[in-house]
Amino acid sequence: MTVDDYSALLPLLNLIADGEVHSGVDLARRLGVSRAAVCKRVKKLADLELRVTAMRARGYQLARPLEFLVPARIIEALPANLAKPFPTIEVLPTVGSTNSELLQRARSGQAAPGFILLAEQQTAGRGRRGRPWVSPFGRNLYLSALWRLESGLPALEGLSLVVGVVVAETLRSGFGIAAGLKWPNDIVVNGRKIGGILIELDGDLAGPLSVVIGIGINIDMTEAATQGIEQAWTDVRSETGTSVSRNDLSAQVIAGLAQALERFSVTGFKGFRQQWCRLDAFHGLPVNVSGPGSSSLTGIARGVDETGALLLETGEAVQAVSAGDVTLRSGR
């Protein structure tokens, strides 16, 4: 769906977003169109994976209420005493990938450090190693933040793990969710993925660098969207048993990120290592670590070192692993 298509549907969405029943006559009057046009637009909402029930002689009802992301509401929910390293917050109705869009804007000079970009929907959301990130409309959090690093690539060691700490602690303290961390970039709850981190760079690896920090959190997944997910997953609604404000959650993540980046600039990852290890969902468990190509290692997960590398106990040695995917070893 294009931005123009979305713009045509936005007035209707605003009217029915509350999840109440709205008569076709009333919707037509308020939109200034015919009832047939209302019916046509309602059907078009299926392209956004939004389920609307048409009830004879009563009208239309959105299956679940929909909360739009609103920059003013996010800013209002930020702590009053928070330093403002992210002065610009923008929400797009639909985009291929918030990370890709923000990287492109940074390259063309259309976005300065401190830019936060969110989207209601991603049509080409990405996780690690180019894996797709399922991104249904208006249900989850797709957020990218632009940060500037002057000192080059070595200073970035462990940044994705730090952002993982931010997300996990936000879910724990703000929403009572028992979130943990799976090295290197996943946020999990009882072995089910609830969020992920994707860091992308542009510039001279010796510095300065534009750093785009991508955060995805499952908040209220749709049944249709989950058909394409090949791993265990969960969302905030399932874990809390209630609806959660996406604007409030966005504000809490942004506030946590702002504080963490300020601290990270001074301490690097070593200042967060203990926090990460306390949240480590796989600590002390037998795991497989698959690396580039067909290489793999097995051992016991023993946390991470001060650079953010995974510590893997293999036999009598403890090996630091800097890249790979971790899975629990069967038969544990």
Q: What pLDDT score was predicted for residue 204?
A: 81
Interatomic CA distance for residues 286 and 93, integer angstroms: 43
Q: What is the mean pLDDT of the chain?
A: 90
Q: Is the pLDDT of residue 6 over 80?
A: no
Q: Is the pLDDT of residue 218 over 60?
A: yes
* Structure tokens belonging to residue 313: 């106990």
> Contact 205/306 with Cβ under 8 angstroms?
no
Q: Is the pLDDT of residue 308 over 90?
A: yes
DSSP structure class, residue 260: H
DSSP structure class, residue 227: T
Beta strands 52-55 and 21-22 are unpaired
Q: Is the pLDDT of residue 223 over 80?
A: no
> Contact 49/3 with Cβ under 8 angstroms?
no
Angle ∠(274,257,120) on CA atoms, nearest 5: 130
Interatomic CA distance for residues 11 and 8, integer angstroms: 7
Residue bearing the bigger pLDDT, 236 or 7: 236
Q: What pLDDT score was predicted for residue 70?
A: 95
DSSP structure class, residue 121: -
Q: What pLDDT score was predicted for residue 256?
A: 96
Mean pLDDT computed over 39-63 = 89
Percent of the chain's residues with pLDDT above 70: 92
Q: Is the pLDDT of residue 4 over 80?
A: no
Give which of 324, 325, 322 is closest to 308, Cα–Cα: 322
Mean pLDDT computed over 267-276 = 96
Q: What is the pLDDT of residues 292-305, one digit of tens each?
A: 666 788 999 999 99
Interatomic CA distance for residues 154 and 244, integer angstroms: 38
**Where are the alpha helices (H) located in the chain, listed in sequence order?**
3-16, 24-31, 35-44, 71-77, 98-107, 159-175, 223-226, 236-240, 246-267, 273-279
Q: What pLDDT score was predicted for residue 150?
A: 84
Q: What pLDDT score was predicted for residue 294?
A: 64
The rounded radius of gyration (Å) of the Cα atoms in the chain is 21
Q: What is the pLDDT of residues 236-251, one digit of tens each?
A: 999 999 999 999 999 9
User: What domains appear along the chain, each with residue ranges and CATH number?
Assistant: 3-62 (1.10.10.10), 71-273 (3.30.930.10), 282-328 (2.30.30.100)
Q: Is the pLDDT of residue 131 over 60?
A: yes
Catalytic residues: 128, 193, 329
Give which of 44, 47, 216, 218 is closest to 118, Cα–Cα: 216
Q: What pLDDT score was predicted for residue 132?
A: 62
Mean pLDDT computed over 208-231 = 83
Q: What pLDDT score was predicted for residue 332?
A: 46
Task: Give me the sheet containing 52-55, strands edge to edge.
Answer: 21-22, 59-62, 52-55
- Per DSSP, what are the bridge partners of residue 230? none
CA neighbours closer than 13 Å in the CB half-sphere of residue 232: 8
pLDDT classification of 226: cutoffs 50, 70, 90: low
- Does pTM top 0.85 for this prediction? yes
pLDDT classification of 128: cutoffs 50, 70, 90: low
DSSP 308-325: SPEEEEETTEEEEE-S-E
Q: What is the pLDDT of residues 152-199, one digit of tens each?
A: 788 899 999 999 999 999 999 999 999 999 999 999 999 999 999 999
For CA atoms 306, 308, 309, 314, the dihedral sign is: positive
Highest mean pLDDT among 51-65, 160-174, 314-328 belongs to 160-174
pLDDT classification of 127: cutoffs 50, 70, 90: low
